[in-house]
Amino acid sequence: MSENERGADVLKYLSKLERALEQARPMPMGASVLVNREEFSDLLFQVRQHLPLSIQDARKILEQEDEIINQARERAKAIVADGHRQSEALIEHAHEEAERLISGENIVRRAHERADEIVAQAEDKAAGMRAGAENYSDAHLASLQQTLEKLLHQTMAGRSELERRRNPETPASQTWQDPSVTRRRNMGWSVDPS
């Protein structure tokens, strides 16, 4: 079933919900009405079943937001820890190489110079690896943040659209609008999210 068909089905079931409320027996002295619980529950179930997949996916992702963020943090920590381990191994290797050069029968001064060069190179490489691991982690978390923000905007826009359809007399200024969509619309650009 396509997204358009699912959206049309949702509108059909929302119309049935509205009719059920309009035809419900009013309670005396108040705005309350009596509705058939089973019929109303069935219609709500049908609305949920026919929600467009993008809204269902966004809801699932929002429900899993903490888990996704925690996994990303754990992955970032693992990358940084691996970078630290590798840098420490490089430094240790450099120290071992320095010791080997010093303890040999080579000229002591030359051995010290070479050892210092190796240690400096290893420390530079280790610092570069640490910085690279941290930059990668930051970029990964930034990408995840953008994805979550985009899904949040889509979800809020979808809810706003459902609210507008439910209450057509609600002014557009009282419904949520994505600032980027409003800006593109004002500039004459397409606002179709696809």
Residue 194: which pLDDT band, with cuts at 50, 70 and 90? very low
The number of residues in the chain equals 194
Average pLDDT over residues 27-33: 84
- Enumerate the H helices of the chain as residue ranges: 3-23, 37-49, 53-63, 65-103, 108-166, 179-186
What six digits make up the tokens of 150?
Answer: 């985009």
pLDDT, position 118 = 92
| Contact predicate 189/180, CB 8 Å | no
* Per-residue pLDDT tens over the stretch 137-185: 888 888 889 999 998 999 998 888 888 888 877 666 655 566 655 655 6
Query: Over 80: is that where the pLDDT of 43 sits?
Result: yes
At 118 the three-state DSSP class reads helix
In percent, the amount of the chain with pLDDT more than 90 equals 7
Of 96, 93, 99, whose CA–CA distance to 122 is shortest?
93
Average pLDDT over residues 74-101: 87
Of 40, 56, 44, 41, whose CA–CA distance to 3 is shortest?
56
Average pLDDT over residues 109-125: 88
pTM greater than the 0.85 cutoff: no
Residue 19: which pLDDT band, with cuts at 50, 70 and 90? confident
What six digits make up the tokens of 186?
Answer: 């004002």
Distance CA 53, CA 43 (A): 18
pLDDT, position 158 = 86
